[in-house]
Amino acid sequence: MSLVGAIALFTVAAVFAFAVVGNNFGWFERKDYRGEGKETVNYTIAEGASTQEVAMDLANQDIVANGERFIETFNENHEGEFIQPGDYELRKKMSSEAAVSVLMDEGDPTHYAAVPTTVRMDETFQILSDSTGIPTEEFEAAAEDTSAYGIPDEFPTIEGYLHPGEYNFPLDASAEEILQEMVDRTKQTLKDNDVSDEDAFRVLTVASIVEFEGVPDIYPDVAGAIYNRIDRPDEETGGFLQSDATVAYGLGEKTYEITEEEKQDKDNEYNTFAHQGLPAGPIGSPGNSSIEAAAKPAENDYYYWVTVNLDTGETKFATNYADHEKNVDEYQSWCSDNPGKCE
């Protein structure tokens, strides 16, 4: 073999070996992207998620190029700290530095607001006011023209569209801009669940009731039972939803105890004991889980449900009134054993 041939053979072998070893050790893996990223994605960090878990997930979703590089960048300024759970607006193919900056809120100062589930419109306005310093009256005035936010005409108020969650509003954001951001998040959740504008009223109204009538694990079953009632008027429930939560909303109260007189009051347009079908509108602004349940309910034959333990949220379902009465007796027994919790 000539000297030139030997050198060529050695070069090919060396390149091959370098490639194999390099791949095994990740030498050719992209360690980081550059810049702020490309298309926007909504990213949720669950309660209790570790930095390592977040890093791996960010890499798996191609938000950052490399999980180890993200951790290195994070530890440069935040070692020992934690990323707060919540919803974040990130981008595909963003640098680790940019991702850390968003997740650790290193950008411009903002007004932080946390809106929980099962709160009503007036409660949401108060939370927003406390968080931003904008008077509640400004939010109330801004919410009057629902068409300005692209909300269908059948909704009597903005209730149903004030999506719960964590927000970071710019310091100079107006009441209208803040409400629009919350409405847009609800619209995105509807879109993610393939809910059309024509079905938005039905889905959001059912979802809002589901949140007050159950706990997340049983949302799909509660949604299925609600649809059974309103879509099967010839069954023994006669098309009446009979939800205490809707009556309480119409009364402007939060209570588990609805009197027989209140159940007969037809002047309350949210009274689903006196009026068939759905109430006049949502009774709160639902979150992702309840919207998903209302959009994709469980198929069941339930017509009745009752939470028999208000501490644990244990709920029992029934297909007929006789079985439901037994479950109600269990609830009332629990109330007797736990004074003051069923008021």
The residue among 166, 117, 157 whose CA lies nearest residue 139 is 157
**CATH T-level topology, domain 40-103:** Dna Ligase; domain 1 (3.30.1490)
Statement: residue 61 has pLDDT above 60:
yes
How many other β-carbons are positioned within 10 Å of the β-carbon of residue 281?
Answer: 20
Amino acid at 245: A
Residue 91 to residue 106: CA distance in whole angstroms = 16
pLDDT of residue 108: 64
Better pLDDT: 84 or 225: 225
pLDDT digits (tens, 9 = 90+) for 15-51: 344 344 444 434 445 689 988 888 888 899 987 889 9
Statement: residue 242 has pLDDT above 70:
yes
Summarize the confidence of residues 92-108 as an average pLDDT: 85
Residue 87's alpha-carbon distances to 45, 103, 165, 229, 287, in angstroms, are 6, 10, 7, 34, 12
Summarize the confidence of residues 221-232 as an average pLDDT: 97
| The pTM of the whole model exceeds 0.85 | no
pLDDT of residue 10: 41
User: Of 24-38, 101-115, 142-156, 215-229, which range is least confident?
Assistant: 24-38
Question: Would you put residue 29 in left (φ > 0), alpha (ψ -120 to 50) or beta?
Answer: beta
Residue 178 to residue 163: CA distance in whole angstroms = 11
CA 285 to chain centre: 10
Residue 85 to residue 63: CA distance in whole angstroms = 17
How many other β-carbons are positioned within 10 Å of the β-carbon of residue 62?
Answer: 14
pLDDT of residue 4: 42
For the chain, give the mean pLDDT: 89
> What phi and psi values does residue 295 have, to the nearest 5 degrees?
-80, -30
- Most confident of the following: 84-88, 105-109, 138-142, 213-217: 138-142
pLDDT digits (tens, 9 = 90+) for 163-200: 999 888 998 999 999 999 999 999 999 999 999 999 99
Please report which confidence band the pLDDT of residue 203 belongs to, taking 50, 70 and 90 as the band edges: very high
Are the beta carbons of 271 and 253 closer than 8 angstroms?
no
pLDDT over 70, % of the chain: 90
pLDDT of residue 338: 93
Q: What are 307's strand-pairing partners?
A: 315
DSSP string, 151-186: --TT-SSSTT-S--EEEEEETT--HHHHHHHHHHHH
Tokens of 325: 């009465």
